[in-house]
Amino acid sequence: MYTSEELIKIDEQYGAHNYHPLPIVIAKGEGVWVWDVEGNKYMDMLSAYSALNQGHRHPRIVKVAHEQLDRLTLTSRAFYNDKLPLFLKKVAEITGMEMVLPMNTGAEAVETALKAARKWGYYVKGVEKDKAEIIVAENNFHGRTITIISFSTEPQYRDGFGPFTPGFKVVPYGDARTIEEAITPNTVAVLIEPIQGEGGIIIPPDGYLKRVREITAREKVLFILDEIQTGLGRTGRMFAWEWEGAKPDGIILGKALSGGILPVSAFASSKEVLGVFNPGDHGSTFGGNPLGAAVTIEALNVLIEENLPAKANELGNYFMEQLKKLKNPDIVEVRGRGLLIGVELKKPAREYAEKLKEEGLLCKETHEYVIRFAPPLVITREEIDWAMERIRKVMG
- Report the CATH number that the domain containing residue 140 is assigned in CATH: 3.40.640.10
Q: What is the pLDDT of residue 335?
A: 98
Do both 91 and 141 map to the same domain?
Answer: yes
Do both 128 and 191 map to the same domain?
Answer: yes
Do both 170 and 125 map to the same domain?
Answer: yes
DSSP H or E segment with residue 34: strand 33-36
Strands (E), 111-153: 133-137
**Cβ(177)–Cβ(213) under 8 Å?**
no
Q: Count the neighbouring beta carbons within 10 Å of the beta carbon of residue 317.
A: 14
Q: Count the neighbouring beta carbons within 10 Å of the beta carbon of residue 78.
A: 7
**Cβ(371)–Cβ(365) under 8 Å?**
yes
Do both 164 and 88 map to the same domain?
Answer: yes
Q: CA 338 → CA 175, 224, 271, 302, 375, distances in Å?
A: 23, 22, 32, 18, 10
**Cβ(237)–Cβ(243) under 8 Å?**
yes
Do both 292 and 361 map to the same domain?
Answer: no
The total domain count for the chain is 2
Do both 319 and 232 map to the same domain?
Answer: no
pTM equals 0.98
At 83, give phi and psi (nearest 5°): -105, -30
Do both 162 and 259 map to the same domain?
Answer: yes
Do both 335 and 264 map to the same domain?
Answer: no
The number of helix segments (H) and strand segments (E) in the chain equals 14, 15
Q: What is the pLDDT of residue 168?
A: 98
Q: Which parts of the chain have pLDDT scores under 50? A: none
Q: Which residues pair with 373 in a beta bridge?
A: 341
* Per-residue pLDDT tens over the stretch 115-160: 999 999 999 999 999 999 999 999 999 999 999 999 999 999 999 9
d(CA 354, CA 361) in angstroms, rounded, equals 9
Out of 257, 273, 305, pick the residue that ends a domain: 305
Q: Count the neighbouring beta carbons within 10 Å of the beta carbon of residue 71.
A: 11
* Per-residue pLDDT tens over the stretch 176-185: 999 999 999 9
Residues annotated as part of the active site: 141, 226, 255
DSSP H or E segment with residue 150: none
Do both 369 and 267 map to the same domain?
Answer: no
Residue type, 306: E
Of 108, 344, 314, the C-alpha closest to 226 is: 108
Do both 12 and 65 map to the same domain?
Answer: no
DSSP H or E segment with residue 224: strand 222-226
**Cβ(22)–Cβ(2) under 8 Å?**
no
Do both 221 and 367 map to the same domain?
Answer: no
Out of 305, 334, 361, pick the residue that ends a domain: 305
What value does the CA radius of gyration of the chain take, rounded to a whole number of Å?
Answer: 21
For residue 373, the enclosing domain spans 4-54+307-395
Buried b (16+ CB within 10 A) or exposed e, 5-24: eeebeeeeeeeeeeeeeeeb
d(CA 375, CA 340) in angstroms, rounded, equals 8
Do both 326 and 282 map to the same domain?
Answer: no
Q: CA 23 → CA 3, 33, 49, 349, distances in Å?
A: 12, 17, 17, 15
Q: What is the pLDDT of residue 396?
A: 83
Q: Count the neighbouring beta carbons within 10 Å of the beta carbon of residue 345.
A: 20
CATH of the domain at 352: 3.90.1150.10
